[in-house]
Amino acid sequence: MRISLSLVVWTLALGIAALDTDHGAGVRRDSDAGHVAKIRIQESEHTLDIHSPTDNRQASFEKALKVLQQYQSSLKSHNMPGRYESQLKTYRDISSFFPKVAREYVQGAARVFSSVFGLTDRTAARYASHRRNSQPKGVKQAIQTVRKLAERGHEESLFALAEIEMYGKYGSALELDLAFEHYQQLADISGNATAQYMLGLFYAVGLGSTEQQNGMSLLYTTLSAIQGYIPAEATLAFKYLSGIGVPVSCNKALSYYQSVARKAIQYYNSGPVMGRHMPDYRARLSDDNGGAYGVRTGPYSLHKVVNRKSFDELLLYHQQNALKGDIKASMTLVDLFYHGHRFAPRNFALALKYLRQVNTHLFTQQGELRKGLVQSEVNAAAQAAGMYGIMCLRGEGQPVDTAAALKWLKIGAKMGHGISYNALGVMYQAGIEVPPNRDRAIELFKLAAERRHQGGQVNFALAIIDAMPEIAHENLRKA
């Protein structure tokens, strides 16, 4: 089997990048590696007893897990460049992620790379030793406790240990073969759906020393999907759609996709009024390095890359302006904390704080606009009234207050705000604080849709889909 020069070059480049990949808590290379984390983890509090009855084993596991979670949190709390950044690094052998047929070529390329750049086996051993030594004593003890509990068949410990080995969590080395063994053991003991799904992944890709077998992958993925595990259902849908290890079957693919979609909608609607928020912001490689070929080369790299230091400076700038009464800066902070950002997790309390400052500045106590406002301030007032009404309706940053929600949404709707129209329509549709009135709800949804509000377009379409399907489909397309 020949290997092209381009594959060797690509593998070498990937090997360089993989020496320093982020995935969970891990190695810290500077001398004071675990100092901050060690302060937070008191060794004396975590002497765990694993030679006790089942109830005490569960208590021991929970104590160990608490130690690991505290360690992870203490590292993430220092999410800044430089001093604390490398604590979240994990060093790993990238060849284990390649199919078995290509693994020997990847390992060969890695050896060439090591010899060229002086990365000897002794250096690699130092990396592995540093991984172990960088862990605080309490973390090492907690992982050891989890390991011993897993050896005694404790299911939650088996799963936690497999995850540590699979992803190299808490500064541990990546050990795919051990992860496979523990997922296999857990699946055999209890039929754990997540463990079955992970076994399907191992067999599908040939991770670690596992031989790639589409039949075994299909078996374990199907067993997991039968239990309703959503990732397994989505995987089977793609397999049947693309014919990966199975005959192409659009009907089976559609069936699994429908099941996933129903569960997603059910989960979305199980939250507060108007549904749950979309998942938190996910960091992309392009956020730090631009698109595939650098900054300004992809859809997520059209602007200059913002790092943590630049973000903190910009945040401080807006906060200072907000203190001076700058409405635009205050609304920027409201939007930032309400929706969340890579460097600023969603914080309803802070969003509400700045929103109240804006409302106090722009509205009287009776809810009337103050006199002498310029157009930009009037627009901000409409947005602030609508957002405050929604936060009252959903109980975000404060207890649910439907009366206040109705008041402020009416103010926002009076000013022609699309979000206010849609939320007010939901209140009339569900009979929240007002008598149910479907016609009035449809009217408000239509006004929101005309202002290109996506929620209004969807709600308007759903309300009229039986009577006017063409208009409904057009609104769904626009949304």
Spell out the SS3 assignment of 400-439.
CCHHHHHHHHHHHHHCCCHHHHHHHHHHHHHCCCCCCCHH
Burial 445-463 (b: 16+ CB within 10 A, else e): bbbbbebebebbbbbbbeb
Percent over 70 (pLDDT), the chain: 71
Q: What is the pLDDT of residue 131?
A: 52
Asked if residue 67 lies in contact with residue 37, where contact means CB atoms within 8 angstroms, the answer is no
Put residue 153 in one of left, alpha, beta given phi > 0 → left and psi -120 to 50 → alpha: left
Asked if residue 48 lies in contact with residue 63, where contact means CB atoms within 8 angstroms, the answer is yes
Residues 131-142: what's their mean pLDDT? 78
Task: Please check the confidence at residue 2 and state whether its pLDDT lies above 70.
Answer: no
Two tokens at 86?
């490398």
Q: What is the pLDDT of residue 342?
A: 82
Q: What is the pLDDT of residue 270?
A: 92
Cβ neighbours of residue 264 closer than 8 Å, sequence gap 6 or more: 230
SS3 of residue 94 by DSSP: helix
- Tens of pLDDT, residue by residue over 45-68, are 344 444 445 568 899 999 999 999
pLDDT bucket at 118, cuts 50 / 70 / 90: low
Task: Please check the confidence at residue 289 and state whether its pLDDT lies above 70.
Answer: no
DSSP state at residue 451: T
Q: What is the pLDDT of residue 85?
A: 40
Residues 421-440: what's their mean pLDDT? 96
pLDDT bucket at 279, cuts 50 / 70 / 90: confident
Task: Please check the confidence at residue 6 and state whether its pLDDT lies above 60.
Answer: no
Cα–Cα distance measured from residue 44 to residue 22, given in angstroms and rounded to the nearest whole number: 30
pTM of the full structure: 0.69
Select the highest-mean-pLDDT range: 24-38, 109-123, 149-163, 279-293.
Answer: 149-163
Q: What is the pLDDT of residue 225?
A: 96
Cβ neighbours of residue 133 closer than 8 Å, sequence gap 6 or more: none
Residue whose entry in the numeric block shows the structure tokens 């006790």? 52
Task: Please check the confidence at residue 168 and state whether its pLDDT lies above 70.
Answer: yes
pLDDT bucket at 106, cuts 50 / 70 / 90: low
